Amino acid sequence: MRRIGLVLLVFMFLVLPLSAPGIGAPARTRTPPGDRGRFVHDEVLVAFRPAANPAVFARAFGGRVHAELQGLGVHVLKVPSGAVENVIAALSHNPQVEFAEPNIYLHLYLDPNDPFDNTDCYWTSANQCITQWAWAKVNAYAAWDVTAGNAAVRVAVVDTGIDVGDLNYSTPDYTGHADIVGCQTPIIKSFISGESGNDDHGHGTHVAGTIGACTNNGIGVAGANWAVQLMGVKVLDWSGSGTLSGVAQGIRWAADNGANVVNLSLGTSSPAKTLERAVKYAWNKGAVLVCAAGNSGGTQFTYPAAYVNCIAVAATDENDARAAFSSYGASWVDVAAPGVNILSTIQDDWFWCFLCYWYGYLPEYDALSGTSMSAPHVAGLAALIWAKGSCTTNTCVRQQIEQTADPIPGTGNFWRYGRVNYYNALK
């Protein structure tokens, strides 16, 4: 089974390629992603104590201060290529340094009338004809009678961007994906140098569609929220890779700009203090953080999911069984949500789409699998709870999600609570 999920370098990029992409020539040619190594070869992330002078420290190692991650108290030092590990070792023993770590790379993890919701099936790139089976499983139809969302609620998709169209490309795309921009104008911000916030991978658009595709509009798929303000925060490039510093900045920016919910379908097998600090910052700003548990198929912790301020989400299939690829463990995974053969939006075929060109997924709509797909089902629920107005704090929203989840027999060791139930959380 093909699957896609956002994982960090130690994990595989979990999409199985097709032998021949079933689409036309891409809008532009790009080289397939290569092995960049585990971290940026000339950058170190450092949190200095108040009396320290970052510039002096940087010069002592033949480097310079490249940037400061605003609000997080972390500096990015440029150091000689290949010296990262030695610089970290030296700084870690200095009393004026709180922590030093490499700038690691992160990689990708009412009944509406939308036809692919539960009426017409959609022929996917895997030659499967499926509908959005997940909405019935999580009891969303009854929940939508309580609330279908509110455009004042902001959900940040910290990912590869959202397909909103790119006016800076040589042949401008003025449209973006019709089933997203047709009902709203997403707020866009990019932390990838030289790139707009437009999606050129496909993953972020798929995640965004589950949370807030235009719904009850007679076309395409249904989103968890019929009204919502999506925020596309691009921290991963066309190949699905991004730096720790970029992801941390994206989380901080989303929190500073009013995100009620932050979806993080990405992760790492190694704890990173900069990432933990960014997650804590957003939580303290009042955001609910929903994090994919990872696609290792085992119990090893992934981050940010394992951090206390994240709702860690595993993946289930149509039979409420844990997906074979899903990471699990009741000591750190909180809830589960549908994550197998999830039909959602993919970039239209106007702009370059990595998933379409390299792996043969279809433009417009296709089905992906992974905890990257289960997380937005929980983020969408969090947004509905905010929209209802019965909760005024992120602690309350999180409790509503976790304490109303459906326990699934035989899964007690996989996660703390159960598979989310939209109606139970809202009624």
Hey, which residues are catalytic here? Answer: 159, 203, 372
Is 236 in contact with 106 (CB distance < 8 Å)?
Answer: yes
Is 235 in contact with 192 (CB distance < 8 Å)?
Answer: yes
* Neighbour tally for 276: CB within 10 Å: 18
* Neighbour tally for 122: CB within 10 Å: 19
What does residue 258 show for φ and ψ, rounded to 5 degrees? 85, 15
CA-angle at 246, arms to 106 and 97, nearest 5°: 95
Is 338 in contact with 316 (CB distance < 8 Å)?
Answer: yes
In 95-218, beta strands by DSSP E: 97-107, 122-123, 129-130, 149-159, 187-190
Is 385 in contact with 220 (CB distance < 8 Å)?
Answer: no
Task: Map residue 15 onto helix, strand or coil.
Answer: coil
Round to whole Å and give the CA distance between 45 and 300.
Answer: 25
Amino acid letter, 367: A
Is 14 in contact with 295 (CB distance < 8 Å)?
Answer: yes
Sign of CA dihedral 23, 26, 32, 36: negative
Round to whole Å and give the CA distance between 233 and 188.
Answer: 6
DSSP 419: B
Chain centre distance of CA 166: 21
Widest CA span of the chain, in angstroms? 66
For the chain, the first-to-last Cα distance in angstroms comes to: 36
Distances (CA, A) of 126 to 273, 353, 376: 40, 17, 22
Round to whole Å and give the CA distance between 290 and 34.
Answer: 29
Round to whole Å and give the CA distance between 48 and 71.
Answer: 13
